[in-house]
Structure 1
Amino acid sequence: HMNKKILVVDDEESIVTLLQYNLERSGYDVITASDGEEALKKAETEKPDLIVLDVMLPKLDGIEVCKQLRQQKLMFPILMLTAKDEEFDKVLGLELGADDYMTKPFSPREVNARVKAILRRSEIRAPSSEMKNDEM
């Protein structure tokens, strides 16, 4: 049974460390990136099961990363992170194909719960991917 692989993207080292520690303790394999360009590269090469993606990133922001992944038909589930005081347009994020979002500061348990829920949803969706237009 392969562990699920999660790509964590944030330019704040403390957050990356916290998420990595927390997710690894929950049994996930974690890879990290600290800017948008690195995030795109790693997403393409590592094919993660889920991406935790900060909105405010150097080089390319999270929204742009999200857009580019979706344009390349890379459909990994994406959990966006946004700081409480950031004007993040949640609707825009979700329209671009993010699956969920969390505001910082967050509790490790919340992260785990959301990651688990998103992965569960994407597993339910995956088998029926041949059937287009099924009721989401």
Structure 2
Amino acid sequence: MMKKSERVFNYFDKNKDGKLTPLELHRCIGSICGDLSLEAVQLVVAPLISSENGVLGMDELECLVESDNEEERMEDLKKTFRMYEMEGNECITPRSLKRMLSIMGESRSVDECVGMIDRFDLNGDGVLSFDEFKIMMLS
């Protein structure tokens, strides 16, 4: 019997190459988490992607789909946040977001990163706190 994560993976792997591309991931995560922007999807999956080419394999998808443990999900969210929060000030800044996106192979200007953060910056301070990040990811 096929596991839930395998069924999900096979459904979204449109070209059946055994990998989920950024566009396939966007469809996949959007179906699981609701209507998220491509940027938000990239924030979710970045720490799970182990390959250099920015695609998600079956093992990585299992981390997203099979986790029924709320504590485990929260720990994964904290790990994801820490990857983007590179400046040690416990928030995601436009510069730290730009740096992480660059590591993932996506070139964005600081101004573009400001715009991405503004969409989810609830208190208007220009950065994402963990609580804002969590609301963004869990809504």
TM-score (norm 1): 0.30
Larger radius of gyration: 2
Higher helix share: 2
TM-score (norm 2): 0.29
Higher strand share: 1
